[in-house]
Structure formats: structure tokens, C-alpha cells
Structure 1
């Protein structure tokens, strides 16, 4: 038996560049009507663990207004409608935020940030062989500090729960597993 709901109607409540909210009317397989069911529409996102040629991990520090804190994170951002692929978007974001280009890229997978109420996905990457080729090219609302550290320090930050952005934590775990730097006990 399918558990998928049938979408009966949608009404947009708010549309803006960074946030679109809609109210759906749905019917469950058992015939129950669920109304309203709120959905937030976002562009897809990308993020990536970045490692320089010398093995240092490139992190970024920036203020996150949603929780009112300055956080240590991995590079990433929103896919633009003109981006032909998630990899292209990640390469663009990495260059803009850090000034680095990378020799090798590994796709680590795709996750859904909030399956209950958001419609988008996050594409995760590992970039290695990083070389600085330019200065940062930040958006008008971005203030980003580039921070480098040994991979062991990143592992410890993760184990100590010091990386709080869940999408970034997930990507870091996948990257460390791929690199053989995070064992499963």
C-alpha cells in the first residue's frame, strides 16, 4: 500500500527571493484531509569539506542570525538558478567564499535538510588539492573569515559537538569516512 499523500491544492502565502511559503491541502491514502500543511520552498543547497594541497582543512567563520551566533562551518551556499549542476554551484561557492580552486572533487551524497516542511536538498562534496587563486568575492551581506586547521582538529571539533550546523556536520562525517579518518565503532 502506498503511503504517499495526494496533493489536492496549493496556495502561496509568501514569495520572496530567500523564502517561499505555501499551504497545501492533501489527502492521505486512508482518505483523511490534511489542511493546511505548510511547506517552505527553497533552492537546493551545496556544501563541501575543502582540503588544501598541504593537507590543511579550510573552514569558514561567519555570523548566523537564525541562532544569533558566529559559527565555524564548511563552505557552501545556495544553488543559483543559472548553475548547471550542484558541482558547478559548489565550485563557484568555494571560490567566492575562500578564494581556492581544487584539483579533485568527490560527490559525497545528497540529504534533505527538513523533510517535514522543506522541499529542497543539500548536495555534499569533498574537495582536495586546494590552491589559493584569488581573494574572496563575497555577497553584499557576507562577512566570512577563512580559517585553516589540521584534519585532526576538525575531527575533534566534530566529536566535541563544536560544529552545530547539522548539514555541515553531516557532510564532515561523510568526508572523514571517505578519507578513512573517522572509524565506526
Structure 2
């Protein structure tokens, strides 16, 4: 197997903020080609979950997404905080904050790279089962989230009809359905 990794010669940060960091790298390829500049966006890792209540309903959320300019249906999830000790901890926190539900079991479904060409983070995916509503939502100041409960069959149909627009969430749903042996 041929080594294809680039060698990093240097990096310069162009912008740093809590939600976005951009850097400009200078690299050399194994074939000796200089790549200058190469821009990388640094993000914290993310988590998301297909969440199923104890009575078999899927917990979805609807919220406005400003980058896209529309309100869309998604699975619960969010950014890992720097003090989260693990992706599972972050996922349990996000589920409770966004939906008010706590879950008996979190099954790791793997991780995916949102855009490895230009971003450095991972999204950790989970299947959460045994959900119980135990509190009201505890949303961030800029969040307005509607909780939507639906049968698993409805979620499968939305996926088949390409109506889950958030690609990271569509991936999570796919892996959850695969785990549940519900793909067809």
C-alpha cells in the first residue's frame, strides 16, 4: 500500500472562535508537490442519536437551521463540550437538554467524518432506547426546538423519501435501522 499522507510544514490560524476555527496549512505530498495554502475548519466533535421511547416511539426534533434557511426535522444531537468525558456522556446530556428524555441504553453505532476534506472533527452516532420523559427541555439561549414523536415506520419512510436533509442524521438513521434489522 502506498503512503498517501501529506506532511504538514506549518499552520497559521486565520480565525478562532467558540464555534469556528479556520487555519491555513502548508503541506507537501508524498510525490513532493507543495500544497500552499490548504484551508482547514476546526470544529468540536458532534454526537447524534436515533432515540426510541420505552413505548416504541422515535423522538425527533424540528428546529430552524440558519445556514440552510429553513426549519427541518432531525434526530437529537449537538456539539461535545470540552468538559464532556466521553461521546456517550455528551449524547445523554444533549438528549436530556433538547428533548427532556432520559434513555436506559445507548448503543454506539460508530463515528463518521462530516467533511474530511476540509474539517477535522467526527460525529459519534448512537441508538438510544428505553426513553422516558423526565423533565422539561433545557435549551440554549439561541435554541427553539419542537419535539416530535413518531412511529419507527414513519422515520423509515422519511428516509426512503429523502426527507431527512441533515446528512449526518441520515447516516445515523441508516446505521440505527441496520442495527435494528429494519432496513428494507
TM range (shorter): over 0.9
Runs of 4+ in 1 over 2 A off after TM superposition: none
Return the offset for 1:132.
0.4
Aligned with 2:83: secondary structure? coil
Q: Deviations over 1:87-125 (max 9, x none)?
A: 000000000000000111100000000010000000000
Matched, 1:88 2:109: no
Map 1:34-183 → 2, pairs under 5 A: 34-183=35-184
Q: CA RMSD in A?
A: 0.5
Gaps of 5+ in 1: none
Give the Cα separation in 1 of the matches to 2:64 and 2:12.
Answer: 33
Aligned with 1:91: secondary structure? helix
Q: Deviations over 1:27-55 (max 9, x none)?
A: 00011100000000000000000000110
Give the Cα separation in 1 of the matches to 2:86 and 2:94.
Answer: 12
Give the Cα separation in 2 of the matches to 1:148 and 1:41.
Answer: 33
Return the offset for 1:72.
0.2
If the length of structure 2 is used for normalisation, what is the TM-score?
0.99
Paired residue for 1:3?
4
Give the Cα separation in 2 of the matches to 1:160 and 1:135.
Answer: 32
Give the Cα separation in 1 of the matches to 2:183 and 2:104.
Answer: 23
If the length of structure 1 is used for normalisation, what is the TM-score?
0.98
Gaps of 5+ in 2: none
